[in-house]
Amino acid sequence: MTLDEQQEISVLVSEYAQYAFFDAITLILCFVSYGATFPGAFLLLLIIAVYSLVANGYWGRPQTAMLQGLLAQALVAWEKVTRWRYMATWGSTINLLLCDTIVAWRAYVLFQHAKFWRFTLAILVVSNISVNVADAIWDTINLGPKIAAPSILDWVSILLSLVVNGVATMLFAWKAWSYHQCMPSSTSRKTRRADNILTLLIDSGAIFCAIQAIYLVVLLLFEYNVIRSLQWPLGIADAISIIGSSFNPVAVIVLSQMDNSRLNEECTSGQPQAVTLWSENIYFSTIDMDTDEGAIS
């Protein structure tokens, strides 16, 4: 085996180890987050044991193995799992887009008479979908046995998703503030329930925005080689971001369906009655405010 072949095999094994590492972290965090703690802990112990054997050998010292045709075998094995890599790329992208679209749609319905914010949300959602789809296509085209360096689309897609969720959360917070200002002394059960729903919408959105912000910072540091040893944080941040993008829209839908009746309270200051925020069949209401087009309602 020539020196060049040894170097190629070394690089290839390193790339495969990185793929296995990122996938293992994602799998462990998904197990734990969905309640399957024992399989996640078992997988973690198994990975530690295998890594220890590979790194130190059976007797605690590094071992060298001479394998013939390892490079060719690795390339053949990669071709067999390529279709699964395509599914992973598009699966996470679709998951994130569904999360962003559901949250933005909730804010869009909330501000029925504020055309400026509805138009802003629509533009942000369309831009977010376009960039994320372009990023997924780019990742699919450049999919190979070697881990490609993060592209500009990788962090731009995360940034746009963060902006969409940040704007939607800000609008939820504004509506909650308007609700408190309009009905400071109301203590009815429906009012408290609506207040709790708005608060939980804000909290869930803020937590997801924090997760995305951390992921974006780690990704930028990794892309521009500011800190070269960011494989652990990047894998963890990526896995948590995937989990958060699954839970956040579910929280929005569940919270929105917690109340199936209108709130009929009026403000004594002459504000309009509550308006429907959900649909014709599912009602969850809060106070609307008289504003011009382009203002908060």
Collapsing DSSP to helix, strand or coil, 226 comes out as coil
What's the rounded Cα separation, in Å, for the pair 199 and 63? 57
- In whole angstroms, give the CA distance from residue 59 to residue 184: 72
Pick the closest to residue 157 from 252, 236, 238 (CA basis): 238
pLDDT at 167: 94
Q: Please report, for the chain, the start and end positions of each structural domain, with discontinuous segments joined by +.
A: 1-68, 82-287
* Radius of gyration (C-alpha) of the chain in whole angstroms: 25
Write the single-letter amino acid at 58.
Y
pLDDT at 69: 60
Residue 8 · residue 71 · CB < 8 Å: yes
> Per the confidence metrics, is the pTM higher than 0.85?
no
CA distance 88 to 79: 15
Q: Are 197 and 284 in contact (CB under 8 A)?
A: yes
Predicted pLDDT at 185: 55
pLDDT for 9? 66
Local mean pLDDT, 10-residue blocks, the chain (297 residues): 66 67 70 60 64 52 53 66 69 87 86 87 94 88 60 87 93 82 60 71 86 88 68 73 75 62 38 40 39 40
To the nearest 10°, report the CA torsion of 247, 159, 239, 166. Answer: -30
Tokens of 152: 């500009």
